[in-house]
Chain A
C-alpha cells in the first residue's frame, strides 16, 4: 500500500489516527456509562453524546490548551475531548470522591481549571453569558486565549442566546459560540421551534460570522472551528457555528424518544455514523488501516472498562464533604457554623 502524502484538514496521519481514537473513546465511554446507569451505579440525569462525537473532537482539536470551553449538561464528550481522564469522569458519574467534582456535581457539572473545562451547566443557555464574561476577562487582561461555548438547538430559543450574541458582538469578545444542532431539544423538533431554519441569519442579525457545518464529518467541523478560533484570537470578535448533528440515543437515559421515528434513527445510525464516515474517508485516502481502527477501538473499550472499574472501587465522599466548598472562606457558611455535627 502506497504511503499517502495526502493530509486531511492539514493534519498528519498520527493526528488523524489520534482523532479517530478519541472519537472511539467517546463512543465506548458513553456506551459504558449507559450500561452502568442501567445497573444503578449512576443516578439522576445522564445525557449521552453518542452520535455527536465528531463535533466535540473536531472543534476542540482546533483549540489551544490555554483556551477555555464551556458546555451544557451533555458534556462527557467535551470533558474527555479537552483532556479529562476518563477515570475522573466516570468516578464523577458514580458520585465518588475521585470524580472531577468530588462527586458533588455528577454528569451535568464537571470542571477542570487546568484543562480549561469551565463547567457543564444544567440551565439551558446559561453558559452563554458566562462564556462572554470569561472572554471579556481574557480580552481585559490582554491574553490571547479564547473561549469556545457549546450549546444545543434548545438554547437558541432562550433569551440568553440573543443577549450573549449581542454583547459579544458589541464588545468584540474572543468567544466562539458552537451550536450542536442535533435536531431536537428534548422532544421539540427544531423545525417547530425555530422561526428561521438556520443560525446563519441569526449570526447576521448580530453582525458576526455564521457558518453551518455537517457535524458528522469531523474534518469539516475541525476546519470550521479553526476559522472561528482564528477570528476570535485575532481580535475580530465572536462567531456562531451551527453544527448539524444527531444524537443516536434519547435526550437522556429515561427518554424513549417517541417524537422521532425508528426509521429516522436507524437511518442516521447506519448511514451517517461519524466514526464510520471518518474511517471510510481515511481508508479511501490510504491514511489508515482497519487494523489501526480496531486497535483504537480495542484500546477505547479497555480504557472505558478501566474507568468503570476505577469508579466502582473508588470511595464515596466522606460525610464532612456535605458542608465543604459552599463558600471560599467556608467557615462563614451558615451550614458549616451551625449545622455540622
Chain B
C-alpha cells in the first residue's frame, strides 16, 4: 500500500484504463495541454496524444452529446465537465438521452460513458460554482451516480465506471482532490463496485450516513463522540444511485438511530430521500426521528465567514448525534 492524493488516484485510474483498453479516451475543456482545471489529467496528453486526450470547445451540450455518440459508436469515453454546475447545460442530453436510450429503444443500445465532474463548495467560489446537485441526477432511472470520498474508492470506482456498460456520473469534490489516502501498490488492478456503500467505522449507538467531502467531517465527529463513549457507525454511501439500501437498513436495525450528514440543501435532496426510505422500510426499528445535518438553504455566499456558516461542520454532527443517543445509554 502507498499513500497518494485523491487527484492522483483519479489520474492513475484514467491512465491504467487507457492503457488497458484502446477504446478509452478522455475529452473535456482544457484537459489536454492545460492538464485539466484541477490537474487531474496532467501528463496524459503528453503520454497518449491528441486522438485520445481531446480538448473540446466550451460547449457542454455538444461535448456531452458527442460523448454519448462516441459510446454508442463503440468507444469508452470519459468526459470531464468542469463542474456539476455547468452540467446543467448538458443535462438534457444526460437525462433525456443517456438515461433513456436503452429503455426506450427496447434494450438495444447501451451507453458506456463516464462523466466526471466535481460538485460542492467551500472554496469561496460563489453561488454558481458551489452546488451539490447529485440528487437531481440520482432521481433519474437509467443513470448511475457515484460519489467516492477517499483515494482508494476514487480509483477503484473510476475503473469500475469505465468498465461499466451504463452511463455513470462520477461526482468528485473540489476540496477532496488534495485528500490523501492509501491505495494498493502500482500494478495492482483493483476495482470498487458502483452499487455498494461501505461502513467506514463501526459502532452500535447511532448510524451516521454520509458521502463525499462530508465523510471526512463525519469521521472527525465520530472520533470526538467516541471520547464521550458514544460509538457512531459511519456509512459512506459512495453509490447514490443505485443506493445500497440493504447496508443502510441493516445498520439502522442495529442502532435504531440515524443521522444523515450532507453538504447540500435540505429540501427534496439526497438526505430527505434517504430519510424517507429509512422511515418506509425500518419504521419499527426507529428509536428517534432521523436527524438531518445539511447546508443552509441559501445560494452559497462568497464571504468566508458566511460560507463557513452555510456549510455543516463537525459540531453540527456531534450535536445531532447527541440529540438522539440518550446519555443514560452511554454512561449507564
- Asked if the two chains touch in their complex, CB atoms less than 8 Å apart, one says yes
Complex contacts, B142 vs chain A, CB 8 Å:
326-327
Closest Cβ neighbor of A131 among chain B residues: B69
Q: What's the nearest-Cβ distance from chain A to residue B268, in Å?
A: 18
Q: Is A101 an interface residue (CB 8 A)?
A: yes
Which residues of chain A have C-beta atoms less than 8 A from B101's C-beta?
119
Query: Which residues of B are in contact with A by a Cβ distance under 8 Å?
Result: 25, 51, 56-57, 59, 61-75, 77, 92-93, 96-97, 101-110, 141-142, 144, 164-166, 194-195, 241-243, 245
* A128 in contact with B103 (CB, 8 Å): no
Within 8 A of B (CB), among A91-118: 99-105, 109-113, 118
A103 to B65 CA separation, bound complex (whole angstroms): 25
Q: Are A167 and B56 in contact (CB under 8 A)?
A: yes
Q: List 5 A-B contacts (CB under 8 A).
A: A137-B71, A141-B75, A327-B144, A329-B164, A332-B144
Which of chain A's residues have a CB closer than 8 A to the CB of B66?
129-130, 132-133, 136, 167
> Are A109 and B104 in contact, CB atoms less than 8 angstroms apart?
yes
Complex formed: what's the CA distance from A112 to B110 in Å?
A: 12
Option from A110, A141, A335 in Cβ contact (under 8 Å) with B74: A141
Residues of B within 8 A of A325 (CB): 102-103, 106-107
Residues in B with CB closer than 8 Å to A35 are none
Residues of B within 8 A of A122 (CB): 96
In whole angstroms, how far apart are the Cα atoms of A272 and B166 in the complex?
A: 47
Give bound CA distance, A137 to B194, whole Å.
26
Closest to A68 in B: B73
Asked if residues B108 and A334 are in contact (CB atoms below 8 Å), the reply is no
Rounded to whole Å, the gap between the CB of B245 and the closest CB of chain A is 7
- Of A40-48, A158-166, A237-245, A279-287, the segment with at least 4 beta carbons within 8 Å of chain B is A158-166
Please report the C-alpha to C-alpha distance between residue A299 and residue B28 in the assembled complex, in whole angstroms: 52
What is the bound-complex CA distance between A130 and B141, given in angstroms?
20
Q: Are B103 and A326 in contact (CB under 8 A)?
A: yes
Of A100, A118, A126, the residue contacting B93 (CB under 8 A) is A126
- Contact partners of A136 in chain B: CB under 8 A: 66, 69-70, 73, 75
A333 to B97: give the CA distance in the assembly, Å.
Answer: 17
Q: With A327-B144, A329-B166 as given contacts, are A132 and B102 in contact (CB-CB < 8 Å)?
A: no
Judged by a CB distance under 8 angstroms, whether A134 is at the interface is yes
Verify B109–A118 contact, CB threshold 8 A.
Answer: yes
How far is it, in angstroms, between the C-alpha of A99 and the C-alpha of B91 when the chains are bound?
29
Partner of A129 from the list B69, B74, B109 (CB cut-off 8 Å) is B69
Is A170 close to B, CB under 8 A?
A: yes
Which A residues touch B108, using CB under 8 A? 101, 111-113
Flag if B61 contacts A134 (CB, 8 Å): no
Within the assembled complex, what's the spacing in Å between the Cα atoms of A326 and B109?
11
Assess the A123–B96 pair: CB atoms within 8 A.
Answer: yes
- Say which residue of A102, A130, A138, A334 sits within 8 Å of B65 (CB atoms): A130
| Chain A hits for B59, CB < 8 A | 163, 166-167
Known: A129-B93, A131-B69, A164-B62. 12 other contacts (CB 8 A): A104-B106, A105-B106, A113-B108, A119-B101, A122-B96, A126-B93, A126-B97, A129-B62, A133-B66, A133-B71, A137-B72, A159-B61
Q: Quick check: A129 and B64 within 8 Å, CB to CB?
A: yes
Most buried by A among B108, B166, B241: B108
* Other-chain residue from A68, A126, A167, A327 in contact with B96 (beta carbon distance below 8 A): A126
* A137/B73 in contact, CB under 8 A: yes
